[in-house]
Amino acid sequence: MNIRHLATKVLGKTVELDKSIVYNNLPLSFSAYRDNKSAEELVIFNRRDKVELSGQVKEGQDRLKASPINGIIFGSDGDALTLSQLFDFKVRKDGFLGDILPEGASFSTILNNSDIRNFMIETSTSMFGLKNPLTGDVDIESSDECAEYIPLVIITGVMKPQIDEDGNVFFNRDGVVSVSDFLDSLSCLTTDGSYEDANSLDLVSSSDDYFYQGYKSCLHGFSSPFFNLYTRDELMEPITRVELAYLLVVCWERFIAKFNGAYSNSYNLGINFDWENPLRILEKFEDGFDYKISRVNVGDKVLSLNIKDYKGDMTMTYYKDAMVMGEKPIPVPLFMSMLELEVLNIFPYSEAKLNPLAEVTRGELSIIMTRLAEQFPTKYIG
């Protein structure tokens, strides 16, 4: 999908500006008086992009439509529901599959059935069983950990197949994921459509961007750690494991709504485990104790969760390079966010290694997004 850039960005003024202050190098203006230019604005809702598939990928979709679980995945219009809706499905006594499965059986239970799992793997290899034109290897094999997850993320639009200049369609499990691709997947995870808006609060993204809704879901105010964290160009760069974890745990609105923040739980610091005592989690990994970790305190010895307090004037690109080279330690909120995803079984850490600065692959993203949908389901409307 093409990225549509906004050539100019204009912030409308409906408030008379009398006084101004500067906060985090951002000028803020306030006034007790409104002018007469305030106006009601139209909110235009758009349908989500229709998932158009072709060739063997389309045949894989048809396999799912002919499967015993087609009535869960597809609506009456033939389109797939959002991935997060699927994980809210429960068997009802008088509903779909009610004569076969016990009442209350979940979509997760159905997917964990060995026959269904094997069917998903077979569907995945039928969709992407040809050679990857970039590597010359078979694109998806039945032994790949991500194979059982791929069909659902593709037909629900959470991830898109890749197409080369010759028109070859492939999944590319080892391909990298950009920050914007991840934000787009976040949006497609839960959203049936979107409403038009002008620009993000920090003016980095606009409603013309395919990842805009995902961007907005991580940006919830001037004090948000995501505010101006990236330049626009940096959104097109590969995302690392610690970045993805940080965006989910510290920035994503749905994670915050469900689990609160790192200072709003039973621990003094931490969400699903004590960030000041992570030893039992680190012991699971061969490289758990191999990294330099740093903290920045603000106020009265309060750990800052804002990465901008750690990187200073460095761009995220230079900051990541400095961490990779060992010139900068990994901030506590980045590192601990990774461990939060381990506790929730969201990130597929292979070979018992964290590899925090490794770039996220497309195969890994397919697993992450499916597990996120299971952890953050939305109302099932079948």
Q: Residue 121 has what pLDDT?
A: 97
Find the mean pLDDT for residues 302-312: 94
pLDDT band, very low/low/confident/very high, at 36 (cuts 50, 70, 90): low
Which residues, 6 or more positions from 274, have their beta carbon under 8 angstroms from its beta carbon? 267, 268
Check pLDDT > 90 for residue 5: no
> What are 268-284's pLDDT values in tens digits?
889 999 999 999 999 99
Q: Residue 37 has what pLDDT?
A: 57
Check pLDDT > 60 for residue 196: no
Q: Residue 13 has what pLDDT?
A: 35
Higher pLDDT, 97 or 358: 358
Higher pLDDT, 288 or 208: 288
pLDDT band, very low/low/confident/very high, at 200 (cuts 50, 70, 90): confident
Find the mean pLDDT for residues 122-146: 94
Q: In angstroms, rounded to a whole number, what is the distance separating the alpha carbons of residues 239 and 140?
A: 22
Residue with tokens 């059935």: 113
Find the mean pLDDT for residues 210-222: 90
For the beta carbon of residue 52, count every other beta carbon within 10 angstroms. Answer: 9
- Find the range with the poorest average confidence among 3-7, 106-110, 128-132, 146-150: 3-7
pTM value?
0.85
Which candidate, 98, 67, 73, 70, places its Cα nearest to that of 88?
Answer: 73
Check pLDDT > 80 for residue 371: yes
The residues spanned by each domain of the chain are 55-170, 240-360
Q: Residue 20 has what pLDDT?
A: 42
Find the mean pLDDT for residues 10-14: 34
Check pLDDT > 60 for residue 24: no
Percent of the chain with pLDDT over 70: 84
